[in-house]
Structure formats: structure tokens, C-alpha cells
Amino acid sequence: MQEQPAAAYEVRQSPEAGSTGRFSPRQEAAHTVFRAVLVPSRYNVSVDLPDGRAAVYNTFSAALTILPRAEWRRILGPGARFTFLPGAVAPAISRLHASGFLIPEGTDEVEMVRQHYQRGRHDRVSGFTANVLLTMGCNLACRYCFQGQTQMETRPRMMAAETEDAVIEYLKRSAAGTKMLRVSWFGGEPLLGLRQIKRMTPALTEFCDGAGIAYRAVITTNGVLLEREAVDTLVEARLSQAQVSLDVPAELKHDKRGRCTQDRVLDNLAYAAERIPTQVRVNLTRDDVSEWDRLFDGMARRGLNKTLASVFIAHVYQPEAARGSDVGSPETPATYVEVMKRQYERAQNLGLPMERTVASRCGSGCAATSDNAVTIDPEGLLYKCPDDAGRPNRAYGSVFLDIVIKSENLLRWLSYDWFQYEACRECTLMAQCAGGCPHQRMFQPGRRNDSYCYWALRGDLEGKIRETVEHLLGTADVPSKADSPLCSG
């Protein structure tokens, strides 16, 4: 049995050394070359836990560890420094280094994050993602919908059969040589195009299966048309996940005849969630205790606390092309976070699977800024962002053409600099959010991402870290050593 060090940061002899306890000259030389001074990462976020412990989350590596607070001060606290000699350092220090909590002094971590995003931007091997808008039309008329003006100004049409065939061929070409084709059925309301999904899927799955490419399909829907027959069709279409939106207050999701749709959607979810992994997004526009009670009680009464994959609360923002100019949530970001925490606890007590943990991996920025993702509108026009769909002046090409027509509409996305804003560049959370929504930055001049940044990330990061610790450990005892097994990433 290996002897434990007196302290987690104590240097001890590596098992690489021979029986004499000495390194060979070549081993010694190799170790000397890579001697370094380790210091805490700028992306560490620490929170106090009960019983004198601390949890540390690294927003770049997405690793999480727990250690006694006294050891945190010595190892990861301000001014901490360790001489790192490969093969001759405490396992705890080696693990913290490997997980990104400790880095060589002088490392440009911002540049490391930049390079990470650049690799993701140009990665055409891991997969290709397509948002396929089968129609711009919708059976509802939500004021905050980012396609609201487009729906009001034109008569939305369904994707024609000729366009469907061209989309299929375009996706085959784009996915060739990748590991996965990800199709997101989108709209408008994509279930208005259920026939198109049923027709297009076999050709896509046959191609993927034959080429050894994984196929993953998801759908984003208001849930009104998610009835049994539609669910069964989606199961046959190999749907991997459904995201269904609900609203607080519920009046914001009335149909075009002014009827509330919430109960109908919840009834549909009772069947859908048993057949398809289903996530519910609750759009918060105005806090109302009675509305929350009605929603959560309705979910629990239908057994959704046992069948839903997850539930999360989202802040409604003012999109560029909404139906109205005053549709954003009047709740301030700080108020929103307080509402979210309060309602999260209420929902959790009902057994609902609330999503409120830290990210398990660092992202690659908005998909629209990469060359491995596309948005296709019902006419077959190609865009980078779904917010632009239905605006031909922002398209860069077409599934009917083999060349890029408006290169400027493509290059503005592929050359987007996530690090152009100093406040974001210096932020601990830059590794998670890539500076927020690039569409807002480009097309809503003067609009900063402060509200999104606060409610989505900064506002309750410490709370999310604590929730993640509880989720990972359950009722188990929290390890009391920094070199404990809990160093996930």
C-alpha cells in the first residue's frame, strides 16, 4: 500500500525511480528540461462548502474538485506557487495540473482559450450541424418570437418537395467524411412540417448508416401539435430529443384564437416524455407565483416529474425581429436569478429534473461562428444563424447552388472575433460563453450582453457549483483530501 503524504502538496518520489530510489541520468535530464513553476489558473472559481471545505471549478477545463479550505489556500489560493518536476511531485499536484487548476507560470491562458475556439470553428471531422426550417409559419403568435416580423410580413410556406430533395443532397455532401450528422428540425413550428420530417428522414439515415456516420435529430417545438400520432412518427424518425417551450405567465402562449395552450401541451408531454427524451424550457417574462404553482403542479399531476429529461428556466430577451418592441422580460437580471433560484427549489421539491449545474465541458462558441454548421430556410437558402432565416439579404448561398454567392454574409461569421471586447476577454467565464451572442453584437448595435451574461452565467455560478457538488456526491461523504478521487473533467 502506497504511503500517503503528510500534506496534499508534499513532493514525494515518483514510482518511475528505480529500486535505488534514484532516476537514471536520462530520466533526470528529461525531468529537468520540463521543470516549471505552477500557479493557480485564472479560470478557477472557488466557493466555500460546509465543514471547512472548498469546491473549485475551472471554467476552461470544466474540472471540479473539493478540498479542505486550508489546503485550498496553500495550493490554489492567491500567491500559491509550486516547483513542478515531472515524476517527482505529489499526485495531488499532478492531478490539479492535469485538470487545469494549476498551470505553468507565464502561460497565456486567454490565448489557449482562443486556440480552443479556433479548433472548434474549423473542426469538420467531429460532425456537421444543420438547423432545418421546414416552415416560417407557426400555429401561435408569441410576441417575443425572433421570427415574428418575418411571419407578419410574408405568407409563410412549407418546404416544397423539390427543396426537400435538394436539402437532402446538400446534407449528404456536407456530412461526408464527418463522424456525425446533427439535424435540428426548426421553424416556425416544425410540427407543421411533420410530413416533411417523415419523408426526409429515411434518405438521411440510410446515407448515414451506409457511410458509418452517426445520426442525431432533435426538434424545438411549442408542443401544441405534439400529439400521440406525431410522437410515434418522430420515434420512427429516430428523434434523439425534443425541446418544448412553456411560458410564465401562460397567457403569452395563447393560440391565434386567444385560447391558453398550456394544459394541452402538458397533456401532450405526458405521452411524449415517455417515448422521447424531452427537455422543457420555461420562458420567464413576468414573475407570478400563482402561475408558477399552476405550471409545476400541472407537471407533477401528469407524472412529468418522473418522465421529463430536464427542465430549465430561460430569460426572455428582446430579439431583433420580434412582433413588438417591448417583449423582453421586465425582470432585471438580478431579479431573474432570484426568481430562478426560488422556483428551482420549488420544482425540485416536486421531483422535477431541474437543470442547474455547471457545464461539464468547455464549449466552442456559437455554432454560427463555425464552418461546420448551417441554417436552411424553407426556400433552401443558407444562413449561419436561425435569427436571420427568412431574410434573403442575409443568406450566403442556396442548397440549389454549389458555390457561395454572398461571401460577405458568410465571412462576417467565420471571421467573428470572440475576444474583441476587453471586459469579456478578461472575464473568468470567457471560456464558457465566448462573449455571448454574436448576432446581438452584429445586428443590435449598442446592445451589450450584460443581461444574458448575468442570468445565464455570472448571476448564480456559485450556486450552480454547489448544486453540482450535491448532484455528484449525493449523500456520500465529501472527500477531505485534495488528492481525493473527485477531480472530474
**pLDDT tens string 205-239:** 999 999 999 999 999 999 999 999 999 999 999 99
Give the position of cell 489546503.
Answer: 71
The reported pLDDT for the residue numbered 121 is 92
pLDDT range class, residue 30, cuts 50, 70, 90: low
The reported pLDDT for the residue numbered 162 is 98
Grid coordinates given for 331: 425582470
CA 137-143-147 angle, 5° bins: 40
Torsion of CA 426, 431, 435, 437, to 10 degrees: -170
Contact between 475 and 62 (Cβ < 8 Å): no
The reported pLDDT for the residue numbered 338 is 84
The reported pLDDT for the residue numbered 14 is 36
The reported pLDDT for the residue numbered 16 is 42
The reported pLDDT for the residue numbered 145 is 73
pLDDT range class, residue 52, cuts 50, 70, 90: very high
Q: What percent of the chain is predicted at pLDDT more than 90?
A: 54
> CA nearest 246: which of 188, 299, 197?
299
The whole-angstrom separation of Cα 20 and Cα 3 is 17
Average pLDDT over residues 181-195: 96
> Does residue 318 register a pLDDT over 80?
no
> Does residue 328 register a pLDDT over 60?
no
**252 vs 136, 258, 282, 316, CA distance in Å?**
19, 10, 12, 11
pLDDT range class, residue 154, cuts 50, 70, 90: low
> Does residue 151 register a pLDDT over 70?
no
Grid coordinates given for 442: 452584429
Strand locations in 222-323 (E): 239-248, 278-284, 310-315
396: amino acid identity, one letter: Y
Sort strands 102-104 and 214-221 into parallel, antiparallel or unpaired. unpaired
The reported pLDDT for the residue numbered 1 is 35
The reported pLDDT for the residue numbered 488 is 44
Grid coordinates given for 384: 449561419
Strand pairing partners for 118? none
| 2 or 348, higher pLDDT | 348
First CA to last CA across the chain, in angstroms? 27
| 303 or 404, higher pLDDT | 303
309: amino acid identity, one letter: A
> Does residue 476 register a pLDDT over 50?
no
The reported pLDDT for the residue numbered 89 is 66
| 461 or 134, higher pLDDT | 134
Q: What percent of the chain is predicted at pLDDT more than 70?
A: 81
Instruction: Give the mean pLDDT of the chain.
Output: 84
> Does residue 249 register a pLDDT over 60?
yes
> Does residue 19 register a pLDDT over 60?
no
The whole-angstrom separation of Cα 173 and Cα 161 is 19
**What DSSP state is assigned to residue 368?**
G
- pLDDT 10s digits, 367-394: 999 999 999 999 999 999 999 998 999 9
The whole-angstrom separation of Cα 230 and Cα 242 is 12
Segments of the chain assigned to CATH 3.20.20.70: 109-471
Which CATH class name applies to 109-471?
alpha beta
The reported pLDDT for the residue numbered 35 is 73
Contact between 81 and 38 (Cβ < 8 Å): yes
The reported pLDDT for the residue numbered 405 is 87
pLDDT range class, residue 128, cuts 50, 70, 90: very high
pLDDT range class, residue 347, cuts 50, 70, 90: very high
- pLDDT 10s digits, 431-444: 888 888 888 888 87
> CA nearest 129: which of 364, 410, 374, 365?
374
The reported pLDDT for the residue numbered 451 is 58
| 485 or 324, higher pLDDT | 324
**234 vs 226, 249, 356, CA distance in Å?**
10, 29, 28
> Does residue 10 register a pLDDT over 50?
no
Grid coordinates given for 468: 453540482
The helix or strand, by DSSP H or E, that contains position 215, with its residue range, turns out to be strand 214-221
The reported pLDDT for the residue numbered 330 is 54
Average pLDDT over residues 169-190: 97
Of 56-70, 84-98, 242-256, 323-337, minimum mean pLDDT range: 323-337
The reported pLDDT for the residue numbered 158 is 93
The whole-angstrom separation of Cα 165 and Cα 160 is 9
